Structures are given as structure tokens and as C-alpha cells.
Amino acid sequence: MKIRSTIIAASAALTSLVLTASAAQATLIDFNDLKKPSGETYVYGDYTDPTGEYQLTADRCSSGNTCFITTVNKGLSGIDFGQTGLVNYQGSAVTTLTRVDGEAFTLGTIDFAPASGNYSGYAPVEIGILFTFTFADGSDPLSETILIPNTPGERLTRTTLDFSGHGALTALSWKPTTNSGGFVQFDNINVALDASAVPEPATWAMMLGGLGLAGGALRSGKRKPRASVA
């Protein structure tokens, strides 16, 4: 009976894991959950996306713990043209993206743009953003500065960066640097749970099949022999 209970419990646990794995899919973090009819939305402390799987932290916040602010209603020409983006509230803050559970993830694309328009007295030709990639395999972090163009005489130019070639990460950090005034808008973060952390479907099938065979063998072993009549 104890063996049977163990098999049933293990089977249930594996079934739960299969369902969880199948739900692990690409996530778009677009901050539209922060949008409201008028005025800005202030983010106090860390931002966690609606799925509860990813979070953004800032190493510098206001004295009232304001770390981010939405951009669509600030006259900053939100980078998604009417949708909601975020900008760091404190100048030169480092923004870090991680999974809430600490697991590895992979990146797709992220949109970036300057956070000041020419009409406000600040007219950058391009801005620099320092990115730091923390790899899941424990190798040394990689830092690189990427320049984001901006067209003089116009509002803000959105640039989509593709990070899909960087492999599995445990964190991505960015910090606005040259010509940025210390601020940068970001939006539409495409991210997914690292596929290597989720067993292949064939593996799940083998594990569940093995449990099924074990259960079948257990049932066969408990069958009582039938008396034969001569």
C-alpha cells in the first residue's frame, strides 16, 4: 500500500510539473497594466509584471521609494505611441531585470528611447546605455555600451534591440550613460523561461510511462491466483 501511495503521489507531482512546463512560454512585459486615463503612474519599489514571474528593480529611488514612472502621459512622447512605457525615476539609476523565482531566462527584443525631447531643451543625437549580462552558466558577466539614435529636430526615436543571441541569463541590467541626462525609456520586454530548465516532452512521457508500468506491475503482483478445478 505504501509503494502504491508513493507511485500515485509521484505521478501527481509529475503531472503538475508537466502542466507547469507547458505554461512556461514567452512573456511580453509592456507595462500597460500601469496605464490610467490621465496622469503618470508612479512605481514604488520593485515592479512585478502581471504574471508574477518577472521583476524590475532600481538601485536608486527617491526618498519616498519612487523607482519608476510611466511615460505615456508625461509629454515625453511615449515610445509605444500611446501605450505605456517606463523610465527610471532617479537619474543614472541601474535597472535590473530578473525572474522572481531566480530561474534562468532568455531574452528577445526590448524597446528603448531617450527620455527627453528636443522641445524641452535637450536634443541628443544619440544616447548610450550600458548593459550588463549575468549568465546562468556562471561565466563572467558581460558589459557593453549600445548607442541609441535620436533624430535632431524630431520628438523621440524608438530603437528595438535584439538580445536573443545572449543565451540563458539570470539578470540583465542597464544604465543610461552618454548624452542621456541619466534617463532612458524602455518598453515591450520579450522574455521567456530558459528552455533548458524545462525537460523535453519526450522526457516527461518516459517518466510518466515508467510510473505507469510500475503501477501496473504493482497491481499484477497483488493479484491472487485463481483456484483451478480439476
pLDDT at 35: 87
Domain boundaries, the chain: 1-24+198-219, 26-197
Of 157, 211, 210, the C-alpha closest to 179 is: 157
pLDDT at 165: 93
What residues of the chain score a pLDDT lower than 70? 1-24, 72-82, 116-124, 151-155, 197-230
Q: Please give the model's pTM, rounded to 2 decimal places.
A: 0.74
pLDDT at 195: 81
CATH code of 26-197, in short, is: 2.60.120.1350
C-alpha cell read off for 146:
549600445
Could you give the count of Cα atoms lying within 13 Å of 189 in the half-sphere of its Cβ? Answer: 26
Of 108, 33, 46, 124, the C-alpha closest to 72 is: 33
pLDDT at 64: 94
Single-letter residue type at 28: L
pLDDT at 204: 44
pLDDT at 199: 56
Residues with Cβ within 8 Å of 106's Cβ and at least 6 positions away in sequence, in order, are 164, 166, 167, 168, 169, 191, 192, 193, 194, 195
